[in-house]
């Protein structure tokens, strides 16, 4: 075989495979897309039930209870700033994307992490896969997704879920393996069943690590939804992408500020919720 044609053969094989999948799996992918967009629309609709000051007030109260009074006030004021910049709709769009993607990532990642914590074989298979996901540049995941799902929030969600999942899996698995030996022995000596050992001993000890995983997933999701602006995700990511293309520096800076505000508020809130769970 002529070596010079090898790359071309490889490329065309990939292209053929992708178009075969998109042709034959059309119904399936339309279905997935409908579910994802439906979920996203639902979350966005919920977030828009309240006016901006309502959401800001909720953030302020949670910030006050979980972190402290000063943070609560700062969080409320910062969210009002997002609205005053004329970016409230986009901010909520981004929040809806991040929340939907994180919840999906956790729904898959935490059970997978628990399984990996117990099954060393699964853990050995998962490690290189997670390494690969985390070393590839994140926008790579947009390409196959856009080929299969088209332009829009569904593609952004898929790519974001892929990027947000690894920390949840890793830190959950770690937490499961971190149970101090003497407590395993206590469980055995007290006659615990396998399920009781999991629910009453391993899980509570793993909780801080799992909460750290949730926080990290959320942060990864924030990073990705901005990049996903390229594929028409809606929200602040698309605003930034649009303003960069038209060199509208003022708008892009405003949108960036709104993202920073949203990220910091959610970061602090989830971190404190994690510490609160430790008691």
Partner 1 sequence: MNIAHKDVSEILVDCRSVWKIFGTRAAAAIEAVETRGLSKKDILKEFNCVVGVSDANLQVRRGEIFCIMGLSGSGKSTLIRLLNRLIEPSLGTVMVKGKDVASLDAAALRDMRARNIGMVFQSVALLPYRTVLENAAFGLEVRGVAKDERNKVARAALDKVGLSDWTERYPSELSGGMQQRVGLARALAADPEIILMDEPFSALDPLIRRQLQDEFRQLTKSLGKSAVFITHDLEEAIRIGDRIAIMKDGVIVQIGNAEEIVTKPADDYVADFVAGISRIHLVKAHSIMQPVAAYRGDINALPRAAPEADISALIELTMQSEHDAIAVVDNGAVIGVVTTRDLLRGVAA
| Chain positions contacting partner 1, by CB under 8 A | 180, 182-183, 185-186, 188-193, 196, 200-201, 204, 278-279
- Compute the least distance from the CB of residue 113 to partner 1, in Å: 20
CA distances to 18, 20, 30, 32, 232 from 26, rounded to whole Å, are: 12, 10, 6, 10, 20
Integer Cα distance of 56 and 235 in angstroms = 18
- Compute the least distance from the CB of residue 262 to partner 1, in Å: 31
- Compute the least distance from the CB of residue 106 to partner 1, in Å: 21
Pick the closer one to partner 1 by CB: 12 or 193. 193
What tokens does 69 get? 């009074």
Integer Cα distance of 87 and 67 in angstroms = 26
- Compute the least distance from the CB of residue 139 to partner 1, in Å: 41
Phi, psi of 140 (to 5 degrees): -55, -40
Integer Cα distance of 145 and 1 in angstroms = 33
Burial 220-243 (b: 16+ CB within 10 A, else e): bbbbbbbbbbbbbbbbbbbbbbeb
- Compute the least distance from the CB of residue 207 to partner 1, in Å: 8
Phi, psi of 232 (to 5 degrees): 75, 45
Pick the closer one to partner 1 by CB: 70 or 278. 278
Pick the closer one to partner 1 by CB: 49 or 189. 189
- Compute the least distance from the CB of residue 209 to partner 1, in Å: 14
Cβ proximity of 38 and 45 under 8 Å: no
Integer Cα distance of 230 and 27 in angstroms = 25
CB neighbourhood size of 133 (10 A)? 16
- Compute the least distance from the CB of residue 217 to partner 1, in Å: 23
Pick the closer one to partner 1 by CB: 3 or 189. 189
Pick the closer one to partner 1 by CB: 128 or 191. 191
Pick the closer one to partner 1 by CB: 5 or 190. 190
Pick the closer one to partner 1 by CB: 58 or 192. 192
Which residues contact residue 57 at a Cβ distance below 8 angstroms, ignoring those fewer than 6 apart?
76
- Compute the least distance from the CB of residue 202 to partner 1, in Å: 12
Pick the closer one to partner 1 by CB: 133 or 203. 203
Which residues contact residue 193 at a Cβ distance below 8 angstroms, ignoring those fewer than 6 apart?
none
């Amino acid at each position: 075989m002529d070596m010079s044609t090898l790359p071309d053969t490889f490329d065309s094989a990939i292209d053929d495979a992708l178009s075969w999948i998109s042709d034959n799996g059309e119904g399936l992918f339309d279905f997935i897309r409908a579910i994802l967009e439906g979920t996203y629309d639902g979350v966005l609709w919920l977030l828009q039930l309240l006016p901006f000051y309502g959401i800001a007030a909720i953030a302020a109260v949670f910030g006050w209870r979980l972190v402290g009074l000063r943070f609560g006030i700062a969080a409320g004021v910062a969210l009002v700033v997002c609205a005053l910049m004329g970016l409230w709709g986009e901010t909520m769009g981004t929040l809806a994307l991040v929340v939907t993607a994180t919840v999906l990532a956790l729904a898959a990642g935490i059970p997978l992490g628990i399984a990996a914590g117990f099954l060393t074989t699964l853990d050995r298979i998962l490690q290189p896969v997670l390494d690969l996901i985390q070393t590839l540049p994140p926008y790579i995941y947009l390409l196959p997704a856009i080929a299969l799902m088209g332009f829009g929030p569904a593609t952004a969600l898929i790519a974001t879920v892929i990027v947000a999942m690894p920390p949840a899996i890793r830190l959950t698995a770690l937490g499961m393996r971190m149970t101090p030996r003497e407590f395993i022995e206590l469980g055995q000596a007290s006659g615990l069943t396998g399920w009781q050992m999991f629910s009453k001993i391993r899980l509570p000890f793993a909780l801080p690590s799992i909460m750290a995983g949730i926080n990290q997933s959320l942060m990864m999701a924030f990073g990705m939804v901005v990049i996903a602006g390229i594929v028409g995700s809606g929200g602040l990511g698309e605003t930034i992408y649009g303003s960069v293309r038209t060199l509208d520096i003022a708008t892009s800076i405003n949108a960036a500020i709104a993202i920073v505000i949203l990220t910091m508020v959610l970061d602090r809130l989830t971190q404190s919720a994690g510490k609160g769970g430790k008691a």
